[in-house]
Amino acid sequence: MSKAKTGAASRRGFLKGAALGTAALAVKPEAGQAQEQGSARGNATARPNPTTLALDTGARPAVPSRVVENPGSDFMVDVLKTLNIEYAASNPGSTFDGLHESLINYGPNPNSMPEWLTCCHEESAVAMCHGYAKIELKPMMAVIHGTVGLQHAAMAIYNAYADRVPVYMIVGNHADAAARGSGVQSYHSANDMPLLVRDFVKWDDQPISLGAFAESAVRAYKFAMTPPMGPVLLVATHENQTQPNRETNLRIPRYTPTAPPQGDDEAVAQAARWLVAAERPLIVTQRVVRTPNAIKLLTELAETLQAPVDSQERMNFPTRHPLAGTGGAGYEPDVILLLEVSDPTNAARAARARGAKTINVSAMDLFMKSNIQDFGHYADVDLDMGADGEATLPALTEACKKLITADRRRTLQDRGAKLAAAHKLQRNQAVDLAQYGWDASPISLNRLCAELWPLIKNEDWSLVSWQGFISGWPGRLWNFDKHYQYIGGQGGGGIGYNAPASVGAALANKKHGRLSINIQTDGDMNYAPGVLWTAAHHKIPLLTIMHNNRGYHAEVMILQNRASERNRGQDRTTIGTKLWEPNINYAKMAETYGVYGQGPITEPTELVAALKRGIEHVKKGEPALIDVVTQPR
């Protein structure tokens, strides 16, 4: 692909020529149409004439009388480049055409920082940002088209909100009712565009001037990155994008990150006293690890206390560490430390029932909304710190160390030895359990994950898909010890997340040379399979292994339970829940989108060879998909 000219003279000269040509077509539409139709017969990529464009888009054919030398969207790009955003994911739309054109053409390095990524659906664009942020620890941008695009994106936005993940979004809008056209320009616009998703974004704004856009753009990034993190939304009015920039003394504010809040000194001291005195402490984590250093901090606290760590949702604690787990059979904690747990209700209630204490450290209560109920029930904890978990770890560890006497240290070491033995037993039990159904066809998930592990364990690998629908087998069998090796699930439970989020995470892993692995459920894939094309087009290396159980099996089980509760048969519970008759061939689907595809694999003896071929393709910098027909769970 040839590089676009970047000089202002060449770009503006082309635009002047285009303007004159468009004006000529408007004067003689019949001749213009005939000329375009003649070109189209000899060239499949001929440009449509203005009348055809108007019919396709619902807009009036434009007849530029002058060239806009300094459009407002150029300044918007100057602002965005200060935020160090690497990628902009988008399904194209006419409400942001000014910004789109500036991003790909303006400046000495057009289409870079951010680089434009073409997506086939707005939900996929936002979900890609979701997965990317959990690997790269910073936002990428989604550019969204008006009312219809924002409604398409809404599910992915909600997932990111519930998962407390920063996503930076810009939505276009024809704000001036007197200037916008009827038809598409009107019914894709709104008086209060962010209202469509306001309940599940952390912050939104509709700046009416370029100066206001600069402040809001930097503020949005700051809010997105301040714990508890979340998606933010800015409206870029079409008028600001396309009209000449006549504002003077414009400035771009400097982004200064907000230091996350640390737990109150007195509360930290109380928590340390309870934890050091506990006979059976337990640490429960979900989203405490935000940086590689957090794993070290959490490990230091666990080893100081010789307390087991129940790591949930994301990669928080090394899975082969002797303290990983819940303490083994019969271990009933008397003090539970919850670190960034989204809903501590069940743990707190169980602890209170047996007289145990619960300590909660979370930034969740620092930002909450009333409509969306992702906060769950009110948690009856004994000590609650409204603070960032990662930021609080150093002070809490230091406070615990100061309280540990020589006698207490010997007691803690004895407990640690017992916990290590329990951890080893649990791991051995998982390995034994993985052998059940080893030769079954369809292929068991335990065999799929067990056979994959030897092929990747010496690579710099990253599991970019959720384990919830595959019975957690990677967590039981693989060795996780880096923050990027597991990024968790949807956050809000919305299906359609996994495939695009995996592509976004693989994009973040690409520059690090990591092998990204997505064990992909079939129901989720069918929500937005077009993301495979995005992976192929932008050469995003990702190994997708289909967990093809030919159905929405969670719903199958739910329906079976409901039928059993009502003393009815199970034979009809596949109606409305299975994906068969016909079976979907995901290998051919992948090939249609330009991705290497193989399968369906039904025999377990063929699995390893197929996985090896897929890995070979990914190592060449290509996406690959292996369709494996699997057991339901």
Task: Give the CATH number of domain 265-426; options: 1.10.3720.10, 3.40.50.1220, 1.10.630.10, 3.40.630.10.
Answer: 3.40.50.1220
Residue 486's SS3 state is: strand
* Contact call for residues 527 and 584 (beta carbons, < 8 A): no
**Mean pLDDT within 312-341:** 96
Listed by start position, the domains of the chain span 8-57, 72-242, 265-426, 434-629
What's the CA gap between 521 and 578, in Å, rounded?
Answer: 13
- DSSP characters over 83-131: TT--EEEE---GGGHHHHHHHHHSSSSTT-SSEEEE-S-HHHHHHHHHH
Query: How many CA within 13 A on the CB side of residue 496?
Result: 20
**Mean pLDDT within 429-447:** 95
pLDDT in tens, 217-232: 999 999 999 999 999 9
Range in 34-38, 76-80, 576-580 with the lowest mean pLDDT: 34-38
pLDDT in tens, 224-273: 999 999 999 999 999 999 999 998 899 999 999 999 999 999 999 999 99
Same fold, 265-426 and 434-629: yes
Q: Two tokens at 228?
A: 């508890």
pLDDT of 22 > 50? The answer is no
* Contact call for residues 426 and 590 (beta carbons, < 8 A): no
**Mean pLDDT within 123-138:** 97
pLDDT in tens, 268-286: 999 999 999 999 999 999 9
Query: What would you measure as the largest C-alpha separation in the chain, in angstroms?
Result: 96
Residue 443's SS3 state is: strand
Which carries the bigger pLDDT value, residue 306 or residue 55? Answer: 306
Q: Two tokens at 530?
A: 């077009």
pLDDT of 133 > 60? The answer is yes
Helices (H), 287-381: 292-305, 345-353
Q: How many C-beta neighbours within 10 Å does residue 296 have?
A: 12
pLDDT in tens, 189-199: 999 999 999 99
pLDDT of 407 > 90? The answer is yes
Question: How far, CA to CA in Å, does 486 sit from each of 286, 313, 466?
Answer: 12, 9, 8
What's the CA gap between 184 and 600, in Å, rounded?
Answer: 43
pLDDT in tens, 456-484: 999 999 999 999 999 999 999 999 999 99
Task: For the domain made up of 72-242, give the CATH fold.
Answer: Rossmann fold (3.40.50)
pLDDT of 11 > 80? The answer is no
pLDDT at 524: 95
**Mean pLDDT within 67-71:** 91
pLDDT at 377: 86
Give percent of the chain above pLDDT 70.
90
pLDDT of 33 > 90? The answer is no
Residue 24's SS3 state is: helix
pLDDT in tens, 73-113: 999 999 999 999 999 999 999 999 999 999 999 999 999 99
Q: 434-629, superfamily in CATH?
A: Thiamin diphosphate (ThDP)-binding fold, Pyr/PP domains (3.40.50.970)
- Residues 6 or more apart whose CB falls under 8 angstroms from that of 346 comprise none
pLDDT of 561 > 90? The answer is yes
Question: How far, CA to CA in Å, does 551 sit from each of 37, 202, 469?
Answer: 47, 35, 12
* Contact call for residues 533 and 120 (beta carbons, < 8 A): yes
Q: Which of 312, 327, 334, 340 has the alpha carbon at shortest distance from 419?
A: 327
pLDDT at 41: 37
Q: How many C-beta neighbours within 10 Å does residue 511 have?
A: 9
The mean predicted confidence, pLDDT, of the chain is 91
pLDDT of 508 > 80? The answer is yes
pLDDT of 586 > 90? The answer is yes
* Contact call for residues 134 and 123 (beta carbons, < 8 A): no
